[in-house]
Chain A
């Protein structure tokens, strides 16, 4: 029988990061604190694979990631260890199991990588990722990631605000939405070959233009000071921290500015369960489960580490984007 600690405000022992470590965490990371990285990983096999993947990344990308600066906002929450961030993923292109992506995504070829920019922009075209990112200052952003399945992580991303990219691409006055498409190559992606995922490939996501232009909206190319591992959506993915994780589309090959609201994968699959907006909202339950709380990972057998879910995942600064909207209706 488990005896539960009933004082909800008392910090749990594994939540506490020693202050000395906390204060030095950026230095540790910037020094390429591989020691910390290695000790966090459970299996030698996984370590070696991750290192190999990083070694094979193009030099320009590694350089640019290494030169990332601290970006606001920051958080004092404990980071989810690298091994968990890269070992526990929803990336159905590589299988529906949480460990499938880490096991299967090594078949993804991320270099060279091109992104097609289309629709209501002055500068459409097919861009090499390097050209798209050229001259962009990358930032490290520590964001909470809240999955619609009621678990969450805290992840130090490296990326560029989407707004900085869009400004260069020059949306026309007609542009009202941004539509994103993931790579869907059955040759490289085992989940795309599988008939059982229930998903109509390619994976699609979208944002309203004002959401896309919000300074919090990030296009990530790295995490933990390194380039993105394949299973985390390499080489180029969206991160929208105030929305459920499925909005943050991975391995993007197409960005289209549109006049009308684009179709989005989970909304197409189950419109009554997953809306276009998908803002984190403890007041609007998933039809099948509660969204009022979340398990902050990693947790343990003795403590599921429930934390209350906050509106907009705690990013209150985005609330003004939805002024006057009924968020129960536009979930």
Chain B
């Protein structure tokens, strides 16, 4: 995997939504229910980052820009970061870490449980994201990092269950995910070897 001099751009790129959200929050632009809106925005960008991460390998192949592959890690880690902030904002701003609120949400609300599982699935990926880990784990690393697929899937289900109805956004996430999975099935061998 060659690192090009421009690949660092992925890091600030992933930070852009956060900067935008922070500006909106600081400017009081998040409406009358700002904490809820913040939680929703962070969750939405978590999914976008996860999908961006999955898009990088096909994009590198299709655009013939091999350097893009390194952005899988960039966006993968950003995805993990956004999910962590999503969780922290939810638990802190909306629930105030109130044990009875938290207990109820974590045991009674399927969409919360599913979201938590998605988050848990991302932990080992984030923790083994370094080059050393990759070298050390070898082929096991590749297998382990397939956890991203259940994580995204759970994330999309979580997103679709939060809302009252209206499946526009969910449809976008699902379509992108399906295209990526299809590409992977068609070019799968290629992707693992490379």
Chain A contact residues, CB within 8 Å of chain B: 1-2, 4, 42, 80-81, 84, 87-88, 90, 92, 96, 98-99, 148-149, 151, 194, 196-199, 266, 269-270, 285, 288-290, 295, 297-302, 304
With an 8 A cutoff between CB atoms, is B138 at the interface? no
Q: Which residues of A contact B144 (CB under 8 A)?
A: none
Given A197-B166, A198-B166, A288-B111, A99 contacting B31 (CB threshold 8 A): yes
Please state if B32 and A87 are interface contacts (CB–CB under 8 Å): yes
Q: Which residues of A contact B35 (CB under 8 A)?
A: 299-301, 304
B108 CB, min distance to chain A CBs, angstroms: 7
Q: Which residues of A contact B110 (CB under 8 A)?
A: 288
Chain B contact residues, CB within 8 Å of chain A: 25, 28-29, 31-38, 92-94, 96-98, 104-105, 108-111, 161-168, 171
B33 CB, min distance to chain A CBs, angstroms: 6
Q: Which residue in chain B gives the minimum CB-CB distance to A269?
A: B165
CA distance A266 to B92 in the complex (A): 32
CA distance A295 to B90 in the complex (A): 14
Please state if B32 and A80 are interface contacts (CB–CB under 8 Å): yes
Given A290-B104, A301-B93, A196 contacting B32 (CB threshold 8 A): no
B28 CB, min distance to chain A CBs, angstroms: 7
Q: Which residue in chain B gives the minimum CB-CB distance to A150?
A: B36
Q: Which residue in chain B gives the minimum CB-CB distance to A1?
A: B92
Q: Which residue in chain A gives the minimum CB-CB distance to B105?
A: A290
CA distance A81 to B38 in the complex (A): 21
CA distance A222 to B71 in the complex (A): 53
Among the interface residues B31, B111, B162, which one has the most CB atoms of the partner chain A within 10 A? B31
CA distance A299 to B93 in the complex (A): 11
